[in-house]
Amino acid sequence: MLRLFALLVVLAAPVWAVEPHEMLDDPALEARARVLSMGLRCPVCRNESIDESSATLAADLRVVLRERLAVGDSDAQAVDYLVARYGEFILLRPDTSGANRVLWAAGPLLFLSALFIGWRTVRRRPEPVVESLSAAEQAKLDKILRN
Amino acid sequence: MKMLIELAHFALILAAVVAVVQMIIPMIGAQTDRRNWMALAEPAATSQVILVGFSFAVLMWAFVQSDFSLALVYQNSHTAKPLLYKISGVWGNHEGSMLLWVLILTIFGASAAWFGGGLPEKLRARVLSVQAAISVAFYLFILLTSNPFDRLAVPPLNGLDLNPLLQDPGLAFHPPFLYLGYVGLSMAFSFAVAALIEGRVDAAWARWVRPWTLAAWVFLTIGIALGSWWAYYELGWGGFWFWDPVENASFMPWLIAAALLHSAIVVEKREALKSWTILLAILAFGFSLLGTFIVRSGLLTSVHAFANDPERGLFILIILGVFTGGALTLFAARTNTLEAKGIFGAVSRESGLVLNNILLAVSAFVVFVGTIWPLVAEMAFGRTLSVGPPFFDAAFTPFMVALALALPFGSMLTWKRGSLRSAWLKLWPFAVLAIALGTLVYALQSGRSALGPVGLALGVWTVTGALVDLTTRTGSGSLPERMGRLTRLPGADWGKATAHIGMGVTIFGVAAITAWQQEDIRIAQIGAPYDVGGYQFTLDAVETVEGTNYISTLAQISVRDRIRVVATLSPEKRFYPVAQMPTTEAAIRNGFLRDIYVVIGDAQAEGAYTVRVYIKPFANWIWGGAILMSLGGFMSLLDRRMRLAAGAAKRRKAAA
């Protein structure tokens, strides 16, 4: 009984990522769709692209994306179409608008400033150390010299 | 026998009390010059190991016995589960893994007590005291928020089973290695804080910190590689790295630890970069804690599903704040007391290592910013967005490319004042070789991206650079003389070369698989052959098979090249009835030059099945490189000079 039950569930198991019947006949168009879908996040999954995800919504989005490409949308238009409906949350590559500039610039800026500081530190010749006397020693010396 | 579990719980509480004593008394002893107060640290550290060890052993025993009166065993185990996964189930959940975490923490702490005979007395007392402070925080965390010894009033007949994805040999050992790495970095942290309190960092200090950091880094490398290898064969499409927050959480301490390893060399050999090294030691453990926070709080959405709980998250955030914040404050107050002695020129081994440190630290920072950016964007700017692999590929990779380009030069430069010209004289033939090979491959592959050729050139450059460095160390003379010297080179030289070669191999593997992978997804009829990437595939049969605690759809696929059958592969799709979860078990024919990777999908009309076939060139080089890196670290650990301080202690004892 358990076995039968399990078998039924196996047959009803979720689909795994891109399915053959979703794929477009035109290989060039399909290749574009694959590349685009790798950059789009599945909105209901934990952290997967729609290309990897087995969720039903991901499968639907894969089909919608292909439909857009099939009617002649450019890559940007097809992606915009989905972003307009699901928000920028689905972009795995965040855009460079507004505050996101901080995200993109953070690494390069830190690298340049680290190089600058590193270079300054390395180039800095140590000052010849002038051993000056402490106040007490100076007083003692003055005393000796006075005598 | 039921008493044992209460005893184990009690032992954990007792260990916490011992840790409080070990945190306070030796520190006061060190500040006020009381030798017997300082001496308390060693027996306290040993007692902690015994107490937590007992606690952990009892929990493991409860899992093996399937004692379902323990809530934890009920939630994560099942009588039908194979023994290995009953044992690994101990750390396959939040509470048990935290207990493993503190067990490792106490073992590391006690090792400093047991093998730290050569340490200055005060430094040792302070290190053990700081280590105990970390233990106290985690004991409290376990006892107050995640008690593994919670009981059920009415023990159920059977358990809920461990997540089937975790029932895998690769994943059974992935967490313990990661914890060894994370927790190992606590030693570097304790040494750093102790040194700040003392206000002294010298070559001897660095010599003590290096082996601990190196060991932690080796463990982290193995742990990360195991996780990545597991994802490769288990998740069903052969991805090996996803830039998931939890992966990043382990990658950041790895990068910082790698930087720390290199900067500690400068402290040891040249007594320079002291403050920077201390800062790295604090940050390395800080990132470990941050990783723990990310994993356990569920604040960032990740594919790694742990029992998430805001209360636990807050607790770890407090631990993170107190330790990292406290250490950084101490650092700010005391750093100017750490005076650099060694002076070095702009072109020198030291500068090379500074560049290494900058590149590693900045790349860790890029990973950090990318990981937390969704949180920042939502809280500060009200934007719900994602930061995924495309960002990290674009923002992180350039720094690794720069690192690989600079590595052969940096490792060839001499201390104090080096000459780029003399390094270049030895290296230029290999630069030419690397570029030539890259160009050749670029010409041979038509119309694909430059990623593969560039990866190949970088790999060749890094690997040959490491070999040139190694042979240069044999000096001049006839070939037999030099070969003789080569075998007598210290372990650290061999370790350095091996680890650097490993890095080159991994870089090439990642570039190759990304650039040259071939994929075929189709509905395959049984008995109908088709071609992918120079091989012929035939789905021979599909049957249903019953495993120990799962039911499997088992396919048989034969792979032929032009002449003969290369492999017969059996991919599976499993269903675990207790957990109600399906898993894919890809079948992989591993090879030196390529992996053949097949996955069986759903049944289709007329007895056909969805079949996925991937040809993954040089896949094993990714983990091969990681193995070489950890092997290199291990070889350095075995170097006699690494143990010099311990040896000195022995001699002192013998003389006394």
Nearest to A98 among B355, B373, B381 (CB): B381
Q: Which residues of B are less than 8 Å from A87 in CB distance? A: 384
The pLDDT of A68-90, averaged and rounded, is: 92
Q: Which residues of A are less than 8 Å from B523 in CB distance? A: 20-21
Backbone phi and psi for residue B532, each to the nearest 5 degrees, phi listed first: -140, 125
Please tell me whether residues B286 and B361 are part of one structural domain: yes
pLDDT in tens, B473-529: 887 778 888 888 888 888 888 999 999 999 999 999 999 998 888 888 889 999 899
Residue whose structure tokens are 């400093």: B112
Query: pLDDT confidence of A131, banded at 50, 70, 90?
Result: low
Q: What span, in angstroms and rounded, lies between the C-alpha atoms of B524 and B347? A: 61
- Averages of pLDDT over runs of 10 residues in chain B (656 residues) are 86 96 94 90 94 96 90 86 87 89 94 84 92 95 91 83 75 88 94 91 86 94 92 80 89 96 90 89 94 77 58 86 92 78 80 92 96 89 90 94 93 84 88 92 80 92 92 81 83 91 96 90 90 91 88 93 89 85 87 92 86 92 96 89 52 46
Nearest to A52 among B237, B354, B544 (CB): B237
Beta bridge partners of B610: B523
Strand, coil or helix: B151:
strand
Please tell me whether residues B115 and B168 are part of one structural domain: yes
Cβ contact A100–B377 (<8 Å): yes
Boundaries of every domain in chain A: 26-90
Query: How close is the nearest chain A Cα to the Cα of B523, in Å?
Result: 6
Please tell me whether residues B223 and B96 are part of one structural domain: yes
B636: in domain: no
- What pLDDT score was predicted for residue B99? 95
B311: in domain: yes
Please tell me whether residues B500 and B548 are part of one structural domain: no
Domain count along chain B: 3
Q: What span, in angstroms and rounded, lies between the C-alpha atoms of A77 and A83? A: 10
Q: What span, in angstroms and rounded, lies between the C-alpha atoms of A100 and B370? A: 10
Is residue A100's pLDDT more than 60? yes
Please tell me whether residues B477 and B604 are part of one structural domain: no
Domain A26-90 in this protein, CATH class? mainly alpha
Residue whose structure tokens are 């194979």: B82
Is residue A9's pLDDT more than 50? no
Please tell me whether residues B55 and B193 are part of one structural domain: yes
- What pLDDT score was predicted for residue A14? 41
The residue in chain A having the minimum alpha-carbon distance to the alpha carbon of residue B546 is A3
Please tell me whether residues B272 and B162 are part of one structural domain: yes
- What pLDDT score was predicted for residue B382? 87
- What pLDDT score was predicted for residue B306? 54
Alpha helix segments (H runs only) across B159-304: 169-198, 203-234, 245-270, 274-297
B451: in domain: yes
B511: in domain: yes
Instruction: Compute the half-sphere exposure of residue B321: CA atoms within 13 Å on the CB side of its CA.
Output: 6
Greatest alpha-carbon pair distance for chain A in Å reads 113
- B308 burial (CB, 10 Å; 0-12 / 13-18 / 19+) is middle
Q: What span, in angstroms and rounded, lies between the C-alpha atoms of B354 and B471? A: 24
Nearest to B354 among A39, A103, A122 (CB): A122
Please tell me whether residues B380 and B425 are part of one structural domain: no
The residue in chain A having the minimum alpha-carbon distance to the alpha carbon of residue B361 is A111
- What pLDDT score was predicted for residue A80? 93
B382: in domain: yes
Please tell me whether residues B432 and B571 are part of one structural domain: no
The residue in chain B having the minimum alpha-carbon distance to the alpha carbon of residue A1 is B577
| B466: Cβ contacts below 8 Å, ≥ 6 apart | B407, B408, B411, B496, B497, B498, B500, B501, B504
Sign of CA dihedral B482, B483, B484, B486: positive
Cβ contact B386–A126 (<8 Å): no
Per the CB < 8 A criterion, the answer to whether B118 and B652 are in contact is yes
Q: What is the share, in percent, of chain A residues with pLDDT greater than 90? A: 36
Q: Which residues of A are less than 8 Å from B575 in CB distance? A: 6, 9-10, 13
B650: in domain: no
Q: What domain range includes position B571?
A: 518-619
| B562: Cβ contacts below 8 Å, ≥ 6 apart | none
- What pLDDT score was predicted for residue B302? 58
Strand, coil or helix: B239:
coil
Backbone phi and psi for residue B604, each to the nearest 5 degrees, phi listed first: -115, -175
Q: How far is CA B412 from the centre of its chain?
A: 28
Cβ contact A92–B389 (<8 Å): yes
Instruction: Compute the half-sphere exposure of residue B312: CA atoms within 13 Å on the CB side of its CA.
Output: 23
- What pLDDT score was predicted for residue A5? 38
From chain A residues 94-123, the ones with a CB under 8 A of any chain B CB are: 94, 98-100, 103-104, 106-107, 110-111, 114-115, 118-119, 121-123
The residue in chain B having the minimum alpha-carbon distance to the alpha carbon of residue A20 is B522
Per the CB < 8 A criterion, the answer to whether B349 and B410 are in contact is yes
Query: How close is the nearest chain B Cα to the Cα of A43, in Å?
Result: 10
Cβ contact B303–A100 (<8 Å): no
| B177: Cβ contacts below 8 Å, ≥ 6 apart | B219, B220, B222, B223, B226
- What pLDDT score was predicted for residue B495? 92
- What pLDDT score was predicted for residue B417? 82
Please tell me whether residues B81 and B217 are part of one structural domain: yes
Q: Which residues of A are less than 8 Å from B363 in CB distance? A: 107
B164: in domain: yes
Nearest to B388 among A21, A93, A103 (CB): A93
Cβ contact B386–A94 (<8 Å): yes
Q: How many CB pairs under 8 A join A and B?
A: 145
pLDDT in tens, B613-654: 999 999 999 999 999 999 999 999 988 666 555 444 444 444
Q: Where are the strands (E) in B320-362, listed by range? A: none
Nearest to B377 among A99, A106, A121 (CB): A99
The pLDDT of A70-98, averaged and rounded, is: 91
Which run of H or of E encompasses B537?
A: strand B535-546
* Higher pLDDT among residues B401 and A123, named by residue: B401
Strand, coil or helix: B616:
strand
Please tell me whether residues B88 and B177 are part of one structural domain: yes
Which run of H or of E encompasses B390?
A: helix B389-412
Q: Is A30 on the interface with B (CB under 8 A)?
A: no
B551: in domain: yes
Please tell me whether residues B289 and B414 are part of one structural domain: no
